Amino acid sequence: MRAIRAPLTLSSPEGETVAAIRRTGPLSRADLEQQLELSRASVAAVVNTLLSLNILREVGPGESQGGRPPQLYAINGAFGYVAGVDVGATSIDLALADFTGRILERHDEPADVRDDPEPMLEHIADLIAGMVAKQNGRPDQVLAIGIGVPGPVKFAEGVLIAPPLMPTWEFFPIKAFIRQHFPAANVVVDNDVNVMAIGEASAGTGKGLDNFIFLKIGTGIGAGIIVNGHIYRGHDGAAGDVGHICIDYNGPICHCGNAGCLEIMAAGPAIAARGKEVALAGGSDFLRKRLEDNKGVLTARDVAEAAKAGDRAANEIVRDSGRMIGGMLASLVNFFNPQMIFIGGGVSNIGYRLLSSIRQAVLRRSTALSTRHLRIEFSQLGADAGVTGAIWLALEHVFVVA
């Protein structure tokens, strides 16, 4: 790999050609003419430019439709590296990929986002540099870095605005800080759920789907929205913050200050709190024993395990949570008519009991036409959704297309 000056500016047909080959795999000139509605001469010029820049490479000929089989063009994996970072509330997960998106190195470790941004980002930069060195590469060969963070992000500037989990990060210039270490890299920061939706759309079961929602259920609840194949961030980057939709005006006060938000009533901490209540009231032997074993601490995972073991009270908690989440999702379905809803995040590990109660609530409360083709499934990417999405977010932002 050789260093390039970044971010590299491509013309619009050049950018579209790279995107089309990324989407579908190797293509011939004739394929590109057809897909991009470009003339033969334009495609020839674009392909020649991209070959000379080492962005594309020639691969073996494709299938012949009578006559000589056409030459195919693929993304050149050796063009440069991209890195993906998934910053969670309690962990960081990183990957280094080649320019095709193939993951070369992985690393994850526990972390606490309540810590200040400087030391944490410094550490993240060191970890990326370490992965590049392991590949015998140099920092200036990293062309883009995608970072998903658990809070509201003003996308254009890549800064967090009033993040409840990580208050000291507000307005911190993440992009400029990381770029000090990787001068050739375009750094892109996005909300973690948007990043997961991008992962699902680029490398998961969502590939090829035009309209879907990725719902993350963990400590909080949020949605990533894919519209016509692209992430929808809204006017200010705040779209999808569905955890703060009110489901009970007389409900408990959420950390956002309002009463009865979905998140405070149905996310991981709510499931854990209800489990503890039941255990202390003598409603579940399983949970009472777990509470004793854990020295007074009970997690959503404990409630999930109790439910799996057939505990009636735990099952009721899971079902209630699914019903509340499904009720909110039904409103989204009526509003947006997605073809698919993917469920991900830590609490999705609770399993099919949660999924089936979500499905029931959605089907009961949405209009017939909007659910005719709707499917609701767990994301198959599982815990990899964030880091996969961060890689693809980075790949989307290697070039400036003018």
Cβ 262 to Zn ion shortest distance, Å: 8
Q: Total number of residues binding Zn ion (CB under 5 A)?
A: 4
Q: Closer to Zn ion at the Cβ: 109 or 248? A: 248
Which of positions 194-213 make contact with Zn ion (CB under 5 A)? Answer: none
Cβ 236 to Zn ion shortest distance, Å: 18
Q: CA-to-CA distance for 389 and 131, rounded, in angstroms?
A: 18
Q: CA-to-CA distance for 202 and 316, rounded, in angstroms?
A: 36
Q: CA-to-CA distance for 205 and 383, rounded, in angstroms?
A: 14
Q: CA-to-CA distance for 392 and 103, rounded, in angstroms?
A: 11
Q: Closer to Zn ion at the Cβ: 103 or 256? A: 256
Expressed in angstroms, the distance from the first to the final Cα of the chain is 25
Stretch that binds Zn ion, among 105-113, 220-228, 261-269, 375-383 (CB under 5 A): 261-269
Q: CA-to-CA distance for 180 and 99, rounded, in angstroms?
A: 22
- Residue 85 phi/psi, 5-degree rounding, is -130, 125
Stretch that binds Zn ion, among 46-54, 62-70, 72-80, 250-258 (CB under 5 A): 250-258
Q: Closer to Zn ion at the Cβ: 59 or 256? A: 256
**Can you tell me which of 21, 147, 226, 261 binds Zn ion, judged by CB under 5 A?**
261
Cβ 130 to Zn ion shortest distance, Å: 39
Q: Closer to Zn ion at the Cβ: 227 or 256? A: 256
**Can you tell me which of 8, 21, 188, 254 binds Zn ion, judged by CB under 5 A?**
254
Which of positions 230-249 make contact with Zn ion (CB under 5 A)? Answer: 244
> For residue 373, how many other CB atoms are within 10 A of its CB?
10
Q: Closer to Zn ion at the Cβ: 129 or 256? A: 256
Kindly report the three-state secondary structure assignment for every residue of 106-170: EEEEECCCCCCHHHHHHHHHHHHHHHHHHCCCCHHHEEEEEEEECCCEECCCCEECCCCCCHHHE
256 touches Zn ion (CB under 5 A): yes
Cβ 8 to Zn ion shortest distance, Å: 42
- Residues 3 and 184: beta-carbon distance below 8 Å: yes
Q: Closer to Zn ion at the Cβ: 261 or 304? A: 261
What Å distances lie between residue 164 and 114, 195, 217, 239, CA to CA? 10, 19, 16, 17
Give residues in contact with Zn ion (CB under 5 A). 244, 254, 256, 261
